[in-house]
Amino acid sequence: MPGLGLDLPPVAAPAATPATGQAYRVLARKYRPQTFAELIGQDAMVQTLGNAIRRERLAHAFLMTGVRGVGKTSTARLIAKALNCIGPDGQGGPTIAPCGVCEPCVAIAEGRHIDIIEMDAASHTGIDDVREITEAVRYAAVSARYKMYIIDEAHMLSKQAWNGLLKTLEEPPPHVKFLFATTEVNKVPVTVLSRCQRFDLKRIPSELLASHFAEICVKESVVAEPDALAMIADAAEGSVRDGLSILDQAIAHADLGGHSDDTGSAAVRAEQVRGMLGLSDRGSMRRLFAHLIAGEADSVLADLDAQHGLGVDPVAVMRGLLAMVHAITLHKAAGRVRTVHGEEDRAALADWADKLGNASLHRLWQLLLKGHDEIESAPVPREACEMALLRALYASTLPDPGTLARRMAETQGSVVPPSAAAEPSRPQPEKAPQSEESPPPWDMAEYGEPSLPLRAQANPQPVRPVGEIRTIGDIVDLLDNAGRLLLAGQVRTDMRPVEIGEDRLTYQSATGRDDYVPLLREALADITGRRWQVERGGGDASPSLAELEKLAENALRDEILNHPLVVATQAAFPDAEIDWTAAETSPHEGDNLPTRSAKA
């Protein structure tokens, strides 16, 4: 370099950029819908707008809401086209199918129409920006049928801005239309929502997205495998724009990888998309899930190491397993299988749905879901993923609470208590063989513990003959055995029997609330198969069961207090108190004194 004493090589001039005629436009902009027919997945909204235009019942303000990339701003522009289209001959009116060739349609599509004002509320949030709108709406449109204001990200407007727009929004001039687009409709004031016609744009299903991407690949002369498009559609999460951006990246990735077919066009392959998105191979995920439910710890850790070596995020591994469990559960419950999965996936899901029980699937879902949350917050995600999978592996081999309860019941039934061992053996009645038409036993491991009526049906108690019902206790036992526990408790607490005969019960109410009596009549009729007469009556009534229990408890207390040992103890320790709630009542050896704990 002259004057500085530095001998540097000359800098080469930049190579000239070849003229291409037009800069490349990304797919998300190139394939933005230009007509309502190209707007996918929003048929209900299109039908509503079409009927409103044909019947000339147009609202003065529209609000489009939904997740990102489903077409909110595009819909606003399409509405502007539909209301301002004049047709190829210049004589047309508002239509749901704008021509796209007239001057208003072309100008709106290119974003240069003077009467279609687009405002980004994220950068124009104040009252001054809204004041410009309220002052400009007084003037008629220059060349269009309607002057339209498209306000994107409307939820970013300040409270003062919304308040300044309320009056104009409620009673705008007939030549003005407002179009709002937002992703967070909950932040829009209710006073604004009540002045707008609201359209909730739906997420696009993965199947429809994959079909849409396949059509775009044909237009772009790109060969794409169906599994690759299915992965892109799943990664888009219902957003067309996100999916087109991923597809654009996948096409560029395919070109760089050197994969192409005989025609020289780019080929988007599933392996490349999987590596680009950091996803796990479906086959590898199936193998990992198979080893997990088989309890093979070494194979699970080996598969996880292989996924880590391929650069798959541990969170993605856990999401893949969760998706696998979810798909199996849906297939088992309703036979639903997502069409974007391949034939191998469908066969594996059907096989696992037949082998795995509902309880096992739901328990595995909870374990994996907890592991997913732990991995996201763990300092070392890989180790957290290993621990979560091992926990799920070992927990899958443990019996569920229903099985444990059944085994405990069987164990208790097989153990002979010592008191019974000392007694002479008694002849046991022969167990009646199970009928071929009887229902199979309830599988608690599969379905959990049955409800009370089903337990009573599966393990029936001997029903007391109608002729042996002579006391109110017999009626309570009858209701208990039939699973009518709430009704039995009401009878125990309230009913003072006056007379009990065959299919007849006369009573007096202890609490004055006997609204349960109609239910008692129906229950007795269902259990005994005969109609019962239950009514209030006069005469001498016996105490209710609850009152009898209270009398027995008081008598027991008097017996304890009058026992010589208790009297002597209280005389020796005047400050001692008896705790009536802490201990069980059991005969004391030698003197038959009920055992109660005392506190000083």
Domains of the chain, earliest start first: 27-200 (3.40.50.300), 206-277 (1.10.8.60), 282-401 (1.20.272.10), 466-546 (3.30.300), 563-599 (no CATH)
Q: What is the mean pLDDT of the chain?
A: 78
Between 410 and 184, the more confident residue is 184
Phi, psi torsion values for 328, nearest 5 degrees: -65, -40
CA distance 150 to 63: 10
Residues 354, 359, 362, 364, CA torsion sign = negative
Give yes or no for a contact between 137 and 174, defined as CB atoms under 8 angstroms apart: no
Give the pLDDT score at 440: 47
* Residue pLDDT, tens place only, 265-286: 568 888 788 777 766 567 788 8
Give yes or no for a contact between 341 and 229, defined as CB atoms under 8 angstroms apart: no
> What is each CA distance from 380 to 304, 315, 385, in whole angstroms?
14, 12, 9
* Residue pLDDT, tens place only, 479-528: 888 888 888 888 888 888 888 888 888 888 888 877 888 888 888 888 88
* Number of Cβ atoms within 10 Å of the Cβ of 591: 9
> What is each CA distance from 59 to 52, 143, 172, in whole angstroms?
8, 21, 11
Q: What is the arithmetic mean of pLDDT over 414-435?
A: 44
Q: What is the arithmetic mean of pLDDT over 6-12?
A: 41
* Residue pLDDT, tens place only, 103-160: 999 999 888 899 999 998 888 888 988 898 888 888 888 888 999 999 999 999 999 9
User: By percentage, how much of the chain surpasses pLDDT 70?
Assistant: 76
Give the pLDDT score at 595: 43
- Give the residue from 327, 307, 302, 286 showing the smallest Cα distance to 390: 302
Phi, psi torsion values for 502, nearest 5 degrees: -75, 115
> What is each CA distance from 545 to 496, 519, 542, 557, in whole angstroms?
8, 19, 9, 18
Q: Where are the alpha helices (DSSP H) in 295-426?
A: 297-309, 314-334, 343-355, 358-377, 381-396, 401-414, 418-422
Give the pLDDT score at 554: 85
**Full strand arrangement of the beta sheet holding 147-152:** 116-120, 147-152, 176-182, 61-65, 197-200
- Give the residue from 265, 234, 62, 258 showing the smallest Cα distance to 148: 62
Between 380 and 447, the more confident residue is 380
Q: What is the arithmetic mean of pLDDT over 77-86?
A: 90
CA distance 87 to 94: 9
* Residue pLDDT, tens place only, 430-467: 444 444 444 444 444 444 444 434 333 444 444 445 45
Between 418 and 365, the more confident residue is 365
Secondary structure (3-state) at 299: helix
pLDDT at residue 17 greater than cutoff 50: no
**Residue written as tokens 């180790």?**
383
